[in-house]
Homo-oligomer: A and B are copies of this chain.
Amino acid sequence: MSRTVQGARVFHWPIRVYWEDTDAGGIVFYANYLKFFERARTEWLRSLGLGQHKLREECGGMFVVVETHVKYHRPARLDDELVVTAHLSEMGQASMTILQQVLSKNERAPASPAELLCTGSIRIGWVDATTLKPAKIPKNILEVVKQ
């Protein structure tokens, strides 16, 4: 059973669009937003003291993605400067859901509001590092993440 998390902090991470991220449509290839979301989640966890090595070595496991739901509103383009957010929205014993957005910082009109390009709801589950089987999220992680 998972419960909604109220008032969780919103984490922000800047990302620049390079050639590698685009496709022949002239825009960011849609699968690559999952990469942008993951970079922001990784940095969000690191900002909480939960780097990849710590998770694996001290907590004995890692998070794996079990479900993604992404909506594409407007395209990002080569060289765009984006901000990707991460924000805990639901929390269960073995998984949690992070809401994420990709926003465009308009460099040519910095005073104008950021445009929403893409939204994602990413559910990640905890697995044992050795068996890769689902397991309960360790308590010390739960406590840190909820803050």
B25 touches A29 (CB 8 A): no
B24 touches A78 (CB 8 A): yes
Residue interface mask A46-66, B partner, CB < 8 A = 1: 000001110000000010111
B67 touches A24 (CB 8 A): no
Check A32 for interface membership: any CB of B closer than 8 A.
yes
Check A77 for interface membership: any CB of B closer than 8 A.
yes
What separation, in Å, do the CA atoms of A32 and B68 have in the docked complex?
Answer: 12
Residue of B nearest to A72 (CB): B66
> Smallest Cβ distance from A27 to chain B, in angstroms?
7
Residues of A within 8 A of B (CB): 16, 18-20, 22-27, 29-32, 34-35, 38-39, 42, 51-53, 62, 64-72, 75, 77-79, 132
